[in-house]
Structure formats: C-alpha cells, structure tokens
Amino acid sequence: MCISLTCMQGGTKPQLEQDVHLEEIAFDERCNSFSGADLTALVREASVNALKAYMKSQHCAQTCPSGCSAGIKVNKQNFEDAFKTIRPSVSKKDQLMYEQLRESLSR
C-alpha cells in the first residue's frame, strides 16, 4: 500500500517532519482495514492536527500573513493523534465477505 501516491499528491503534500516514515504508517496494524479513502482521511486529520498545533504555537501571530502556513510540517505525533479519531470505513464483517467473494471468483 503506497500512502505517498494515493493520499499525498505524489508525496509532496503535506510536508513531513523527518520523524515520519510513510512505510511504517502504512504497515501499522491500525491501518489493516483501511481503504484508500481511510488513509486519505488519516493524512488529512494529521495535517489538521499539525495546523492546529502551529496556530497555537508562537510561530503564528493572531494576524497571520498570507505565507504563514508555508512552514507547517506534519510530525509523527500528529499521525498518532489522527489514529485516535480515524476508523476503518469497512467493517470486519464486510471485509471478510469481500475476501470470500474474491476467493470464489478467482477459482
């Protein structure tokens, strides 16, 4: 599963801190039932978490100039927090049904 191509505009957005390893996130057991849309939601939520942290920090004054968000980077903690809110959109029961259907059609 390639998070960088499916969810991050070829790995260019959002910008990531050095502590983020997309392969590690993709193979995290919490992603086992994630669809492409779920992975996109995870990246989006991590990005929102980074933006919130940035806005709370001293880097961004109350009246932000237009280029204020240029320095925002998503870190590992932003992804950890995103995992707390993003859940798989396909239930385990439905996933099992799809696996059985795939096996029966491949015979």
pLDDT tens per residue, range 51-85: 999 988 865 555 565 556 667 999 999 999 999 99
Question: What are the chain's domains?
Answer: 3-105 (1.10.8.60)
6-36 pLDDT tens trace: 566 555 678 999 999 989 998 999 998 898 8
Rounded CA gap, 41 and 96, in Å?
23
Q: H helices of the chain, where? A: 3-7, 22-26, 36-56, 76-83, 92-105
Tokens of 86: 């993003």
